[in-house]
Chains A and B, each alone.
Chain A
Amino acid sequence: MLSATVFFGLALVAFVGALVLVFHRNPMVAAVGMAVAMVGLGVLYMILHVPFLGLFLIIVYAGAVMVIVLYVIMALGLEEQGPPVGAVQTVLTFAAALLFIFHVYRLTRGAAPGPFPKVEPVFGSIQQFGHLLVSQYAVPFEVASVLLVGAMIGAIVLSRRDWT
């Protein structure tokens, strides 16, 4: 079992990446902050005993999604335009975020879950995932594949120059 120090280090990496993503005005730097956050989250998935899903996250987000976004930024030259949103909207948004944190704290106060239980080594392994995906969860798996094909066709249609 890994110590809390590792968790805090990774959580700090993920959170700092998220803050860079949210508050940096240059979209290129924001996208890199997203990649940092995703790498931190992916390693967190690994210490949560699902190593294959952590690798999946890093490949999909720090790899695929980030490349698409960086391509768009470089091809279209996106600079943040116009003035920042009004002070009222900013204050209300921060108030909503604080209210959200406070409510989660209020709802979970007093409930002190013990440390994560020990699980057998097969938990979260790629073998277990594979067995579940072709037996018990075969239908959702197929639906997801159809959805991915549909999304691919939709993205091509949306990107056609003469249709938009």
Chain B
Amino acid sequence: MISLGHVLVLTVFLFAAGLIGALTRRSAITVFLSVELMLNSVNLLLLGLGRHLGQVEGALFAFFVMAVSAAEAAVGVAIVVAFIRRQGTTSIDAANLMKW
């Protein structure tokens, strides 16, 4: 029998893995995918909480988060493509235009 604790542990470890990926990788695509991973780990927690409380609103909210993240994925990939075309590199260190 699984409980909310199981779901929480998996969520925390997936989120930590995504955090490490987003902060230690240089490839813009990998950073983007890591952010998606963090987003989905939180979605899993929403589902688990809704299941724990016996309310379907948790899953419904996860549904809306997924719709927003699909929009974010489309725009995010377009930004990455434009960035690579402009800078000629995938390294996010090249994104220093607004860096002081």
Residues of A within 8 A of B (CB): 1-4, 7, 11, 14-15, 18-19, 21-23, 27, 30-31, 34, 37-38, 41, 44-45, 47-50, 53, 56-57, 60-61, 64-65, 68-69, 72-73, 76, 78-82, 84-85, 89-90, 93-94, 96-98, 100-101, 104, 108, 112-117, 119, 123-124, 128-129, 132-133, 137, 140, 144, 147-148, 150-152, 154-156, 158-159, 161, 164
The smallest beta-carbon distance between B41 and chain A, in angstroms, is 8
Q: Is the Cβ of B66 less than 8 Å from the Cβ of A72? A: no
Contact of A19 among B17, B36, B80, B89 (CB under 8 A): B17
A-B contact pairs, 24 of them (CB 8 A): A1-B1, A4-B2, A7-B2, A7-B6, A15-B17, A22-B34, A31-B29, A31-B33, A38-B40, A44-B44, A48-B48, A50-B47, A50-B62, A57-B40, A64-B73, A76-B90, A81-B26, A89-B24, A101-B16, A112-B5, A113-B3, A116-B4, A137-B60, A151-B71
List residues of chain A with CB within 8 A of the CB of B90: 27, 76, 78-81
Are A116 and B78 CB-contacts (below 8 A) given A27-B30, A97-B16, A100-B15? no
Q: Is the Cβ of B20 less than 8 Å from the Cβ of A97? A: yes
Are A159 and B81 CB-contacts (below 8 A) given A21-B33, A61-B40, A68-B74? yes
Q: Is the Cβ of B56 less than 8 Å from the Cβ of A124? A: yes
Instruction: Mark contacts of B60-100 with chain A using CB atoms, 8 A cut-off: 1 yes-contact digit, 0 otherwise.
Output: 10111011101111110111111011100111010000000
Contact of A144 among B24, B30, B67, B91 (CB under 8 A): B67
Contact of A129 among B33, B63, B78 (CB under 8 A): B63
The smallest beta-carbon distance between A28 and chain B, in angstroms, is 10
Residues of B within 8 A of A (CB): 1-8, 10, 12-21, 23-27, 29-30, 32-34, 36-37, 40, 43-44, 47-48, 51-52, 54, 56, 59-60, 62-64, 66-68, 70-75, 77-82, 84-86, 89-91, 93
Q: Can you name the residue of chain B whose Cβ is closest to the Cβ of A17?
A: B37
Q: Is the Cβ of A94 less than 8 Å from the Cβ of B20? A: yes
Q: Give the CA-CA distance A89 to B22 in the complex, in Å.
A: 12
List residues of chain A with CB within 8 A of the CB of B51: 48-50, 116, 119
Q: Give the CA-CA distance A31 to B33 in the complex, in Å.
A: 8
Q: Can you name the residue of chain B whose Cβ is closest to the Cβ of A3?
A: B1
Contact of A93 among B14, B24, B71 (CB under 8 A): B24
